[in-house]
Amino acid sequence: MVADGNFLPITHTGSTNLASSSGNVPLTDVLVCPSITKSLLSVSKLTQDYPCTVEFDSDGVRINDKVTKKLLIMGSTRDGLYCLKDDSQFKAFFSTRQQSASDEVWHRRLGHPHPQVLQQLVKTNSISINKTSKSLCEACQLGKSTRLPFVSSSFTSNRPLERVHCDLWGPSPITSVQGFRYYAVFIDHYSRFSWIYPLKLKSDFYNIFVAFHKLVENQLNHKISVFQCDGGGEFVSHKFLQHLQNHGIQQHISCPYTPQKNGLAERKHMHLVELGLSMLFQSKVPLKFWVEAFFTANFLINLLPTSVVEDSISPYEKLHQKTPDYTALRSSGCACFPTMRDYAVNKLDPRSLKCVFLGYNDKYKGYRCLYPPTGRVYISRHVIFDETAYPFSHHYKHLHPQPTTPLLAAWFKGFESSVSQAPPEVSPAQPPQRNATLPAPPLFYCC
């Protein structure tokens, strides 16, 4: 750095000598600066490295040996400066191993690394930086541009439906029994309570939203203020936008290719799919019943405590101001026996059938029980459950469709082999067979 505060680039560092009447005066840590117009000598550095004294007056400058008081070098004044050398051209010997340059030059030399890498190299004295700038490297922006980190949203809702998040999931690789391939999820920001609606086509979303809009505003006595979604075609259609405008609902749309801005709905998708698939794989229920599994997962998530809600209560309790009841919950996919007296034709018909518990119903206070051989679903509140048995693992295993992917085929083959290796069930009414022959009974004689 020169007197006016500007920086000049230093290309090399090294050492040289100043010739004197009694020999050479060594100069160490010489900086090679091509941009400077005159070679400068630091008096303080010279007196530190060599035992000498420096005298300045109107005639010039004299450098004397500090011990012997002998004159070493004498110089004159020129243009307001003290000049040690007039005619001779001295040579500087520099080392290419210890090069000093600006941070921009080192950034390019090292292949455009992160600034922290340069700081670490400077800290360990591996490189020397003589000038620091704060300019933006355009090449890095072109070659290494990435998404900026997202700051957690500080928005808090003060009432239900103040902000509703929504997103569509699909298409599912497997069409459900009812023909659904998508589902729409709506999340209340205030309580994190969610509603799920299966769809056959994306174009069905408008009618689903109108029904959801009427339902929640009538049930909760609040109005939807903000609708948060992504830029999908179903959310920007003219009919849908007109509906929002007619009801005074403000729409917030996330930027293209930025699902993080609609992160609450994206995380809800992940939660629903993970819980739904876990229940399907545990009970061995065919994947074509994914709608029932996801609906059950959503039903249970609403009842479970969560840390994102104040006091770590459940979304159900936050929204409805009452504690959920867990006593009616049963294991999804387990065996169940609904009472079927009302379906009997005569008095000798069976009173029940071995069914599979599919989940709950939001319109009936009952359980959905599937009888796999016919595909019929019975809704009943009079159901006996066997939560230790899963019919699709054994009893109705033959009704599984053929797997369509290598992973599904491997999983299906694995649980098939585990079923075949299971020990056969022994009826408690039948005693086990003996391998050894029983001895003959003794003979008795009467007299």
Q: Is residue 302 part of a domain?
A: yes
Q: What is the pLDDT of residue 96?
A: 46
Which one of 284-288, 359-363, 394-398 scores highest in mean pLDDT?
Answer: 284-288
Say if residue 233's pLDDT is above 70: yes
Same domain for 182 and 282, yes or no, is yes
Q: Do strands 71-78 and 81-83 pair parallel, antiparallel, or not at all (unpaired)?
A: antiparallel
Same domain for 286 and 263, yes or no, is yes
Tens-place pLDDT, residues 392-440: 988 898 888 888 889 888 888 877 766 655 555 444 444 444 443 434 3
Q: What is the pLDDT of residue 40?
A: 85
Of 291, 320, 349, the position where a domain reaches its end is: 320
Q: Is residue 65 part of a domain?
A: yes
Which one of 101-105, 242-246, 442-446 scores highest in mean pLDDT?
Answer: 242-246
Same domain for 183 and 267, yes or no, is yes
Q: Is residue 220 part of a domain?
A: yes
Tens-place pLDDT, residues 234-266: 999 999 999 999 999 999 988 765 655 667 888
Say if residue 386's pLDDT is above 60: yes
| Residue numbers of the domain that contains 268 | 163-320
* For range 337-359, the mean pLDDT: 92
* For range 17-26, the mean pLDDT: 72
Same domain for 118 and 192, yes or no, is no
Say if residue 355's pLDDT is above 70: yes
Burial of residue 105 (CB within 10 Å: 0-12, 13-18, 19+) is middle
User: Residue 75 carries which side chain, given as an amino acid letter?
Assistant: G
Same domain for 259 and 293, yes or no, is yes
Q: Is residue 253 part of a domain?
A: yes
Same domain for 75 and 183, yes or no, is no
Same domain for 208 and 110, yes or no, is no
Q: Is residue 403 part of a domain?
A: yes
Same domain for 183 and 115, yes or no, is no
Contact indicator for 361, 353 with CB cutoff of 8 Å: no
Report how far apart, in Å, the C-alpha atoms of 344 and of each of 316, 352, 377 are: 39, 9, 16
Same domain for 85 and 129, yes or no, is no
Say if residue 273's pLDDT is above 70: yes
Same domain for 378 and 351, yes or no, is yes
The SS3 of residue 419 is: helix
> Sign of dihedral through CA atoms 102, 103, 109, 110?
positive
Average pLDDT, the chain: 82
Reported pTM: 0.64
Same domain for 254 and 357, yes or no, is no
Q: Is residue 287 part of a domain?
A: yes
User: Comparing 40 with 220, which gets the higher pLDDT?
Assistant: 220
Q: Is residue 43 part of a domain?
A: yes
Same domain for 176 and 316, yes or no, is yes
Q: Is residue 33 part of a domain?
A: yes
Chain centroid to Cα 62, Å, comes to 71
Q: What is the pLDDT of residue 24?
A: 73
User: Comparing 205 with 403, which gets the higher pLDDT?
Assistant: 205
Tens-place pLDDT, residues 299-331: 999 999 988 888 889 999 999 999 998 989 999
The total of structural domains in the chain comes to 4
Report the distance separating Cα 273 and Cα 288, nearest Å. Answer: 14
